[in-house]
Chains A and B, each alone.
Chain A
């Protein structure tokens, strides 16, 4: 269930939202339009995304920071994808749910190789496999949102957040166990994920 507060308590919050809108409104509309290819639906997505951002306006440290840009990008992208799926009446349930949840135990750290220097490559490979895995790790551990907040940002259920986190960690674990290092390209916008 998506809960919008949709209320700005202070002038500072209003000013922050206005700055975000003025700086990123074109990109937000572009992202939505690239996914939906429809002007009216893209408008709906931008409005919904802005109202979602109001819920997190007090956590915006800076309008120009990478965290803020990522948050906006993620909210708009996932809101558009959600609308696209509803439009296509895509009700595919993630069938691997139960299988994945069987193995949630981490391998001991000694059996894995954490190569901090390769973290950038690992993150790119993870995003290449499935961008939503990299997104959810960033939201959970870098932005430090809780599961309910992540569900609202990604327009998915609370249960799906948990499942997706398990999968993301599992996929990352496989990457960390792998000794191979291949070339990559960053995926960019995610139309092919839909």
Chain B
């Protein structure tokens, strides 16, 4: 039995059909505008606005990808730790006298601070290498205009200060691998980097940047207001004295 609902359905189909014809009629007018529009000059400001809008969308997409990458990195670190701890436990149980030195950089990105631990894991309780304390690393490349102005040391920690005429400072620090450094990463960008095969991170917050990396024995950082490439050049030039 036919109902009002059925009538309405038929009518909706007819409305769509009317709509389709109206669209076709409108498009003819729209297409004709292509010839008429040449008399109206198109403002360049609109092109600039549109290009800026698209660029902003690309940057937003990149920032989202970086966020996802950091999240993935954190999860991988957690998995690595789990495997590492499990592996150590198994090794300890299965081998009587077994000495393993394992180095890892563990980055815990907390809400406010990033704690960077450089740890040396010696199952036999072996002490750190004393001989290293008497020698130091020095960068062979320093940006033009900068010169060594100060140095400080306490135990294994050795810091060199470089400065230019404008009093811009570069701080180069080295310490043994079991140092525990706190870096303020709130609102900062963090990037994974590699210095002569050693893993590290580059942290930039406003004008200040810090490049932090470690070998199997030493931890280093460079602190200053220069660009990342300059930091990398300094880092890659260090030599043992």
Contact = CB atoms under 8 A, between A and B. Distances in A.
A181 B93 CA distance: 97
B18 A137 contact: yes
B25 A186 contact: yes
Interface in B1-38: 4, 7-8, 10-12, 14-31, 33-34, 36-38
14 contacts: A7-B60, A8-B57, A8-B61, A25-B50, A27-B37, A29-B46, A30-B37, A43-B43, A106-B4, A109-B7, A119-B17, A123-B25, A127-B25, A141-B19
Contacts of B7: 106, 108-109
Contact of B22 (A10, A46, A135, A169): A135
A162 to B, nearest CB: 15
Contacts of B25: 120, 123-124, 127, 186
A69 B50 contact: no
Among A25, A66, A143, the most chain B Cβ lie within 10 Å of the Cβ of: A66
Contacts of B40: 26, 29-30, 33
Among B12, B14, B27, B60, the most chain A Cβ lie within 10 Å of the Cβ of: B14
Interface string A115-152: 01001101110110000001101111111000000000
Tell me if A's interface is mostly helix, strand, loop or mixed: helix
Interface string A28-69: 011101000001000100110010000000000000001101
Interface string B109-138: 000000000000000000000000000000
A73 B23 CA distance: 10
B58 A189 contact: no
Given A14-B58, A26-B34, A67 B17 contact: no
Among A47, A141, A143, the most chain B Cβ lie within 10 Å of the Cβ of: A141
Among B4, B19, B42, B49, the most chain A Cβ lie within 10 Å of the Cβ of: B19
Nearest to B38: A26
Instruction: Give 5 nearest A-B pairs by CB, closest first.
Output: A142-B19, A138-B19, A30-B37, A141-B16, A123-B21
A66 B46 contact: no
B49 A47 contact: yes
Contacts, number: 137
**Interface size band for B:** 35 or more
A84 interface: no
Interface in B47-88: 49-50, 53-54, 57-58, 60-61
Contacts of B34: 26-27
Interface of B: 4, 7-8, 10-12, 14-31, 33-34, 36-38, 40, 42-43, 45-46, 49-50, 53-54, 57-58, 60-61
A68 to B, nearest CB: 9
Nearest to A172: B18
Tell me if B's interface is mostly helix, strand, loop or mixed: helix
B19 to A, nearest CB: 3
Nearest to B58: A14
Interface of A: 7-11, 14, 17-18, 21, 25-27, 29-31, 33, 39, 43, 46-47, 50, 66-67, 69-70, 72-74, 106, 108-109, 114, 116, 119-120, 122-124, 126-127, 134-135, 137-143, 169, 172, 186, 188-189
Contacts of B29: 73, 186, 188-189
Among B23, B31, B46, B49, the most chain A Cβ lie within 10 Å of the Cβ of: B23
A66 B23 contact: yes
Nearest to A10: B61
A75 B7 CA distance: 31
Contacts of A72: 30
B57 A142 contact: no
B12 A141 contact: yes
A127 B24 CA distance: 12
A19 to B, nearest CB: 12
